[in-house]
């Protein structure tokens, strides 16, 4: 259970007072999570860690913060509960507490900078946009009626909060040019307020070694001679990650004698049991392994020959980024932000229509016919991605923010 939230005592504690009395500018980051489990939470953790490494006071309002980060000197955590485990209810509390901490911190340290994510908290400073709800199409055909009603209600509120928060922000940081374009076209944000900053990666990430590959495959029970593709994404009633398209393509491919590729799908959600039933009923249980939610994605990547991500919407696509940085080719939708970074020589790994099963089958067959060539062609791109670390990303963000002073600083 989260600790009680008492902002007055938190900000008046001797430790916080000492931090605020220092010369360094304090930072407040409001986000769902700060940890290394993947996605936007990993990017948030990287930025918070970079600021702590600089010796700046760092204040985090979140549902979850990695223990090693929370224990760092100068880091203060304001935990936010999720009532009944509900992210929807937790979002309201996160937004309210984020604003309360921001008001109190700014009153004590006017130079403090506040960074929020999208519509999660309305504060007129910096908004780091990880996704755009206005660009996210509904993909819940076939879901139970109660889920469709609930999702439309939640989507309407999310878009309302997003519009208010983004229009109040002084500057915005987009994780891709796609995100930047969506902010301009769908929300009318002035171009001058938006800056693109690509994500980084773990500096220790490198091409998968033969030893890592053998060990990972042994744990998964995959024979050395078999080809293996992986899918990483939520498997709820929402079909945004495109697993329905992939399942349909896999059923068709497995009917071909020459198709010797197995699939591992990692992801949790309300729809997982239904997907497992479908895989069994389609006779694909020996060719498709549903592992559920997994924190062992690096190991899955070590075992894989290909990552497949036929998403309908993806502001960036960190799963593909991580695969490529490990030397694993990634087949992604053109609708994913990372696709804009693909070099011309990898354009045949970009799926133009995530709804088109025929196209996905064709792309997968093309990859299988020249899998060694694809792996070789991926190496230079993966090397370029590895060259940009999480610290490089965080440094760019901090320099960008510090080059855009607050209104009070401008007036002073």
Please state the rounded mean pLDDT for residues 242-253: 95
Q: How does residue 22 score in pLDDT terms, banded at 50, 70 and 90?
A: low
Highest mean pLDDT among 93-97, 142-146, 150-154, 282-286: 93-97
Beta bridge partners of 42: none
79-93, 180-194, 308-322, 377-391: segment of lowest average pLDDT: 79-93
User: Helix, strand, coil shares of the chain as percentages rounded to 5?
Assistant: 50, 15, 35
Specify the pLDDT at position 139.
78
Looking at residue 142, the DSSP 8-state letter turns out to be T
Same CATH fold assignment for domains 7-200+390-411 and 210-386: yes
Angle at 27 between CA 93 and CA 95, to 5 degrees: 15
Specify the pLDDT at position 117.
97
> Tokens 């223990």, residue?
67
Beta bridge partners of 60: 29, 77
List Cβ neighbours of 301 (8 Å cut-off, separation of 6 or more).
Answer: 208, 230, 307, 322, 323, 326, 328
pTM over 0.85: yes
Summary mean pLDDT of the chain: 90
Q: How does residue 136 score in pLDDT terms, banded at 50, 70 and 90?
A: confident
For the chain, the structural domain boundaries read 7-200+390-411, 210-386
Contact by Cβ (8 Å): 26, 109: yes
SS3 59: strand
Is 258 buried (19+), middle (13-18) or exposed (0-12) by CB count in 10 A? exposed
| Bridge pairing between strands 126-129 and 113-116 | parallel
CB-CB neighbours of 392 under 10 Å: 18
Topology of domain 7-200+390-411, per CATH?
A: Rossmann fold (3.40.50)
Four-way CATH pick for 210-386: 3.40.50.2000, 3.40.50.150, 3.30.420.140, 3.40.50.720: 3.40.50.2000
Q: Which two tokens stand for residue 85?
A: 């485990």
Higher pLDDT pick, 6 / 379: 379
């Amino acid at each position: 259970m989260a600790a009680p939230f008492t902002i007055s005592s938190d900000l008046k504690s001797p430790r916080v007072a000492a931090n605020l009395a220092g010369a360094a500018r304090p930072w407040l980051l409001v986000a769902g999570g700060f940890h290394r489990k993947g996605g936007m939470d990993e990017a948030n953790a990287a930025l918070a860690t970079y600021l702590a490494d600089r010796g700046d006071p760092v204040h985090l309002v979140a549902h979850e913060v990695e223990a090693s980060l929370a224990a760092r000197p100068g880091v203060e955590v304001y935990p936010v509960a999720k009532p009944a485990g509900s992210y929807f209810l937790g979002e309201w509390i996160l937004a309210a507490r984020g604003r309360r901490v921001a008001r109190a911190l700014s009153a004590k340290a006017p130079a403090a900078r506040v960074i929020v994510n999208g519509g999660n908290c309305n504060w007129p400073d910096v908004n780091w946009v990880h996704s755009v709800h206005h660009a996210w199409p509904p993909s819940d055909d076939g879901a139970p009626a109660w889920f469709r009603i609930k999702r439309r209600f939640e989507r309407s509120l999310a878009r309302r909060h997003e519009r208010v928060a983004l229009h109040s922000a002084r500057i915005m940081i987009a994780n891709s040019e796609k995100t930047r374009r969506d902010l301009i076209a769908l929300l009318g944000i002035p171009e001058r307020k938006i800056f693109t900053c690509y994500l980084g990666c773990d500096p220790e990430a490198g091409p998968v070694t033969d030893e890592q590959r053998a060990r990972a495959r042994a744990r998964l029970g995959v024979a050395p001679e078999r080809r293996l593709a992986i899918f990483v994404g939520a498997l709820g009633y929402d079909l945004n990650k495109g697993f329905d398209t992939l399942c349909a393509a896999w059923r068709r491919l497995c009917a071909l004698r020459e198709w010797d590729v197995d699939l591992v799908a990692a992801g949790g959600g309300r729809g997982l049991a239904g997907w497992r039933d479908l895989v069994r009923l389609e006779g694909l249980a020996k060719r498709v392994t549903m592992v559920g939610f997994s924190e062992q994605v690096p190991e899955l990547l070590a075992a894989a020959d290909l990552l497949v991500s036929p998403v309908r919407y993806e502001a960036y696509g960190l799963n593909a980024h991580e695969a490529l940085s490990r030397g694993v080719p990634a087949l992604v939708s053109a609708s994913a932000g990372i696709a804009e970074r693909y070099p011309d020589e990898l354009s045949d790994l970009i799926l133009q229509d995530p709804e088109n099963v025929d196209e996905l089958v064709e792309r997968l067959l093309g990859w299988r016919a020249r899998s060694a060539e694809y792996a070789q062609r991926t190496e230079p791109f993966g090397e370029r991605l590895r060259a940009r670390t999480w610290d490089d990303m965080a440094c760019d963000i901090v320099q960008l923010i510090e080059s855009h002073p607050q209104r009070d600083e401008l007036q002073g």
